[in-house]
Structure 1
Amino acid sequence: MVLTGHCLCKAVTYKADVDAPLVTGYDHCDDCQRQSGSTYSLVVVVPKDKFTTTGPVKKWKGIADSGNAVYRWFCSECGSPIAHDPEAAPVIAIKGGTLDVEIKKGLKPDTEIWTVGKLPFCQEKLAHPFEHMPQ
């Protein structure tokens, strides 16, 4: 299976040649909430040595609770988050929303991490669902 994707402006593309993701799930840590601008980040975890990018990737170094560096990768043109790369681990977490459409439609998240940061309203079913923006 080859996972492919790109940023919003398509200046950055990537691929991961893997049998399957190691983990597909929701990351509720505060850093992922801030990077995604949402309540969690959908992540697809793959080995670092299977992940390649092309285009203008910028990396910002943050420090995890462990004290180890975590590099947040994003497009230097449009700012789309691409992945987060924990320095102390042999894996990288691709931001699931950047995967090509047909690939992300087939994802089956089965894991949640950093649930200590999960926001309380994420468990609630919303009363007014809309397929698109309300008219």
Structure 2
Amino acid sequence: MGLSGHCLCKAVTYTVDVEAPIITGYDHCDDCQRQSGSSYSLVVVVPKAKLSINGPVKKYAGKADSGNTVHRWFCETCGSPIAHEPEAAPEIIALKGGSLETEQKKALKPDTEIWCASKLPFVQEKLAKPFDHMPQ
């Protein structure tokens, strides 16, 4: 099966050779709110080694609250967020769920929330596995 997606202008495309994501959930951290321009970022965590990406990706390196670097990937052309890559967990990458193909997005079943300490008070949905910060 696998996963696939693209940015808004379709200059960046990707495929992931997996049957299912490791985690699907919401990231409520302040950086993800700013990157997504929304209340949280829908993330689809997959093994980085299984990701194949094509197109002009630009990366922004920022610091997480832990002090570790997080690389945020964007389409160089349209600016769509594609993923974030935490140096603290080099084996994974968190794809932005909105960039998946339409039918794949519809099939997602988010069950995990991270950085609930930064969750905006008007976000009422509660998922099965909430974490105040990053799960250990």
The two structures have a TM-score, normalised by structure 2, of 0.89
Q: CA RMSD in A?
A: 0.9
2:81 alignment counterpart? 81
What is the CA distance between 1:29 and its match in structure 2? 0.4
Matches of 1:47 and 1:116, distance apart in 2: 26
In structure 1, list runs of 5 or more residues that go unmatched. 125-135
Q: Does 1:60 align with 2:69?
A: no
The two structures have a TM-score, normalised by structure 1, of 0.89
Letter in 2 for 1:52: S
2:133 alignment counterpart? none
Matches of 1:106 and 1:43, distance apart in 2: 14
In the TM superposition, what are the counterparts of 1:1-135 in structure 2 within 5 Å?
1-89=1-89, 90-123=91-124
In structure 2, list runs of 5 or more residues that go unmatched. 126-136
Matches of 2:11 and 2:100, distance apart in 1: 14
Letter in 2 for 1:22: I
What is the CA distance between 1:14 and its match in structure 2? 0.5
2:130 alignment counterpart? none
Letter in 2 for 1:77: T
Paired residues in the alignment total 124
What is the CA distance between 1:19 and its match in structure 2? 2.4
Matches of 1:109 and 1:6, distance apart in 2: 20
Matches of 1:26 and 1:111, distance apart in 2: 6
- Deviating above 3 A after TM superposition, structure 1's stretches of 4 or more consecutive aligned residues are none
Matches of 2:124 and 2:45, distance apart in 1: 24
Greater radius of gyration (CA): 1
Letter in 1 for 2:52: T
Letter in 2 for 1:57: V
Q: Secondary structure at the match of 1:123?
A: coil
Matches of 2:92 and 2:75, distance apart in 1: 20
Matches of 2:65 and 2:47, distance apart in 1: 22
Q: What per-residue deviation string (whole Å, max 9, x for no partner) do you get for residues 29-82 of structure 1?
A: 000000000000000000110111100000000011111110000000000000
